[in-house]
Structure 1
């Protein structure tokens, strides 16, 4: 057995030295395009997500983005908040309307707005009208979710999106 191992050691080491540089580039590209995210918010039902920075965004996609900078975001989530994860409910060309506290996309109710945050800060009405190219209406089923139904988040455009996620746990 020792003879067999010593006979194959040199070819195995040489093969490894040749294969490592060839494998490094695809592995590095994979690392740049993917990440594991842990969710600390009750607005999503899962606690772990696989992020793909190159995934196509479609209705129902779960997207992750850095929230806009504002005193409301800072007060609720701190100076350096984690990424927000929300479902894409509206696509470019869809029409967003409001009827009282209800928010509709293409005439279908998708959310109900609240007048204030849990800390009592007034919330403004989110965007209305046609969703522009490369922008999305994002939301969550959680009744207190901070999403596109409020002007403090608004529409999320492609440049703000870090990637699309898939729940894994």
Structure 2
């Protein structure tokens, strides 16, 4: 499953038109009221038109996804398109989409926002080295069971001996 981006405007426009004018093979809607938010999600699954299957070998399904609701008392509405080589019902795709966002929120968002990986770093090998160290840090914090990444960073900051013991002895040490 691949999310459609602005670099594929023809494919996205085709999906958008398909969504407006054709009945979906299947549709599913969910409501999530956890984490101080209310999020409605709806997924429509469409069979890929033959013309697109020629251009995209293996393409089976086009998906239209809408999310709307309130996060932190702020309303939002998002629309997204996906393509897939799988032939599944909308509810099965819903779980795949949510798994994708779990990865995005648990890893990429943390790396971008909390660890500021997108900020400019010196050239050469420094960005790669920082990315490796950040992944290592996330692994340690999660293995030690800290509730949040910032909490783990605060608890391990300036604790060189403790980090060294973790590296040498494994993750069985008390926090």
Question: TM-score interval w.r.t. the shorter chain?
Answer: under 0.3
Task: Determine which structure has more spread, i.e. the larger CA radius of gyration.
Answer: 1
When normalised by structure 2's length, the TM-score is: 0.25
When normalised by structure 1's length, the TM-score is: 0.26
Q: Which has the higher strand share?
A: 1
Specify which structure has the bigger relative contact order, considering alpha-carbon pairs within 8 angstroms and separated by 6 or more residues. Answer: 1
Q: Which has the higher helix share?
A: 2
